[in-house]
Amino acid sequence: VIKKEGSCVFDLFGSLSSTMGVDLGTANTLIYTKENGIIVREPSLVARHKKTGRILAVGSEAKQMEGRTPDFLETLHPLRDGVIADFDVTAAMLRIFLKKALRGRKFVQPTLVVSVPCGVTAVERRAVIDAATQAGARDAYLIEEPLAAALGADMPVREAAGNMVVDLGGGTTEVAVISMGKIVLSRTLRLGGDALDESLVQYIRRQYNLMISPAMAERMKMEIGSLAESTQPQAMEIRGRDLLTGLPKPLAINQNQLLPALYEPLREIIDVVKTTLEMTPPELASDIMDRGIVLTGGGALLRNLDRVMARDTGMPVRIAPDAPLCVVLGTGRAARNFNSFRRKNHPAKSHK
Ligand code: ADP
Ligand code: MG
């Protein structure tokens, strides 16, 4: 399940160390510990001083500041497209989150199980391990994200049968077929929830000459976004800048108006699901037909996405319970079984 990449030191102070599961996502970082369950769930965001580079806030605190910073401050997303874009900032952010997860246990150096997208390069994987150790971890092991998602969604991944999981994140979508605990086939798309927000920004600008922020678009997507027409559509008031007068302006918008703008980027995602199904060996595809495609990640919460994907692919589709938590729950599960895993897979290493 887990790829060994870092150096493994015999755990002489085993009683002092703990193993944690980490979902280092483009949009959100989550940490799972055996003792406390999901103990960190924060946006992967950092606010820092432009000149000195000093970090002033991370996570939700930084999100509060986004779009509201004075000149000398900036907020930045240290991860992009599922991989580390800014190494030092990622490590600094992770250090703060780990400290929070450790709850003041100062001398503990945790071992981490971190999820990474399928198909990332060896350099990108190495960067995750190095960032983890720079952040204060003793060691880091990697698990492929779709595998973690499927484990967290309680799919029977160890059986000799086809399981398809689609994880919809902020910057990426991963489609994978899993059988006997291994990924048989996978595709990573550099397109996720952010693209939906962007599509809404463009649409509102074209239709209403109103410039809204991506954050406003995201709120609109979460509150009223849906992929099905409704006879009694939900509405909300959004705010932006009128491109004709340059002044702030409110606008009432309803869910039906957003549908085309949401569907457009999603069609691309659904096309990738279709091509992945076409490449799936027939026996496994038949299992998926029986069991259905499982959706995980924050993007799975978009209303009626399951229905539209089922319509377009002809396969049953279901949303995993706690979809945004599946990946971290899966890394947590791998972390809990970590010691038996290590004994089974690296017996020589534990005697060095
Ligand atoms: P990542 O793995 O990239 O960190 P997440 O799995 O946390 O991402 O998902 C984040 C994405 O999910 C964002 O694009 C966010 O807008 C989207 N999202 C979260 N909740 C909802 C919702 N209720 N409806 C639609 N999209 C949502
Ligand atoms: Mg994710």
User: Which residues make beta-bridge pairs with 32?
Assistant: 21, 38
Pocket test for ligand 1, best of 218, 234, 262 (most atoms within 8 A of CB): 218
Distance 344 CA to ligand 2 centre (A): 28
Question: Is residue 38 scored above 60 in pLDDT?
Answer: yes
78-109 burial, b for 16+ CB within 10 Å, e for fewer? bbbbbbbbbeebbbbbbbbbbeebbeeeeebe
Q: Quick one: 351 exposed, middle or buried, by C-beta within 10 A (0-12, 13-18, 19+)?
A: exposed
- What percentage of residues in the chain have a pLDDT greater than 70? 91
Q: Is the CB of 90 within 6 Å of ligand 1?
A: no
d(C-alpha 67, C-alpha 184), whole Å: 42
| Listed residue (108, 136, 129, 114) closest to 11, CA to CA | 108
Q: Is the CB of 174 within 6 Å of ligand 1?
A: no
d(C-alpha 186, C-alpha 191), whole Å: 15
> What residues have a C-beta under 5 A from ligand 2, the ion?
25, 169, 327
Specify the DSSP class assigned to residue 3: B
Distance 246 CA to ligand 1 centre (A): 31
- What percentage of residues in the chain have a pLDDT greater than 90? 85
User: Which residues make beta-bridge pairs with 168?
Assistant: 173
What digits encode the pLDDT tens for the residues 44-60? Answer: 999 999 999 999 999 99
DSSP-assigned letters across all residues of 234-256: -EEEEEEEETTT-SEEEEEEEHH
95: phi then psi, degrees, rounded to nearest 5: -60, -45
| Listed residue (276, 72, 89, 93) closest to 186, CA to CA | 276
Q: What is the pTM of this model?
A: 0.92
pLDDT of residue 341: 53
Question: Ligand nearest 328 Cα, by number?
Answer: 2
Arithmetic mean of pLDDT, 73-85: 94
What digits encode the pLDDT tens for the residues 146-158? Answer: 999 999 999 999 9
Q: Is the CB of 193 within 6 Å of ligand 1?
A: yes
pLDDT of residue 281: 97
Question: Is residue 348 scored above 50 in pLDDT?
Answer: no
Specify the DSSP class assigned to residue 320: P
Which residue, judged by its Cα, is nearest atom 9 of ligand 1?
298
